[in-house]
Amino acid sequence: MTISRRSTAALVTYLKLVVFSAALWPFLWLVWGIFHDGLGADPVDTITRVTGDWGLRFLLLSLAVTPLRRLTGWQQLQRLRRMLGLFGFFYVCLHFLTWALFDHSLDVATMLEDVLERPYITVGFLALVLLIPLAVTSTRSMMRRLGRNWQRLHRLAYPIAGLGVLHFWWLVKADITEPLIYALILVGLLAIRLVLWRRRRQVAARLAVG
């Protein structure tokens, strides 16, 4: 049993290291591109696109952890969710800062005007605002302090991902292929969660009757 636990702990540590390295790679690629003129003819557009894409991808990956854990029965997968979610928040923040710095030179007045007048920026900004309390309460101490309220709060991850998909959809306008793929992934994750929830309810009902 001791060997098994040690092996599992080592595997989880290795897996977290691999995931951390892979998640950091897009950022390191951008940094390299900035200093080596490797971001194409429009570097700001490249940074905006890459940070936005990976922000949404990591949010979806974090949502995929719990269904995958329940389907496989490997409980240790849950230990990756916080890391993936925080990387999603990290890239969303970079996405926002790129827009704020290069499009508006950190002028709060013009930024607010843009948020109020352009719907795709409105939903993107709302997603960022809603992500902040999730990131702040992602620690184990906050989980213990909030108790069941922690789970209720972090259910916001699904509508936040939906806002991210909508932000992307309204941004591209013409070619919606990529945001459509993300939308289908999100719907699939919601469907799996609903099925698993119904199964748990059915099992609980049987136990109550028995």
Has residue 2 got a pLDDT over 50?
A: no
Burial readout 122-145 (b: 16 or more C-beta within 10 A, e: otherwise): bbbbbbbeebeebbebbeeeeeee
At 74 the pLDDT is 80
Residue with the larger pLDDT of the pair 83 and 73: 83
Q: Average pLDDT in the 49-61 region?
A: 97
Task: Give me the count of residues in the chain.
Answer: 210
Q: Average pLDDT in the 159-171 region?
A: 96
C-beta of residue 22 within 8 angstroms of C-beta of residue 73: no
Confidence tier at 169 by pLDDT (50, 70, 90): very high
Residue 136 makes CB contacts below 8 A (sequence gap 6+) with: 142
At 208 the pLDDT is 67
| DSSP for 6-44, written as a single string | HHHHHHHHHHHHHHHHHHHHHHHHHHHHHHTT-S-S-HH
Q: Average pLDDT in the 199-203 region?
A: 75
Distance (Å, whole) CA 16 – CA 74: 15
At 3 the pLDDT is 47
| DSSP for 176-208, written as a single string | -HHHHHHHHHHHHHHHHHHHHHHHHHHHHHHHH
Has residue 1 got a pLDDT over 70?
A: no
Q: Output the pTM of the full model.
A: 0.91
Has residue 117 got a pLDDT over 90?
A: yes
Q: In which region does residue 73 sit, left (phi positive, over 0), alpha (psi from -120 to 50) or beta (all else)?
A: left
CA 114 to chain CA centroid, Å, is: 24
Distance (Å, whole) CA 196 – CA 72: 12
Sorted by where each starts, the structural domains of the chain and their CATH numbers stand as 23-209 (1.20.120)
Lowest model confidence (mean pLDDT) among 27-31, 37-41, 85-89, 126-130: 37-41
Q: Average pLDDT in the 190-207 region?
A: 79
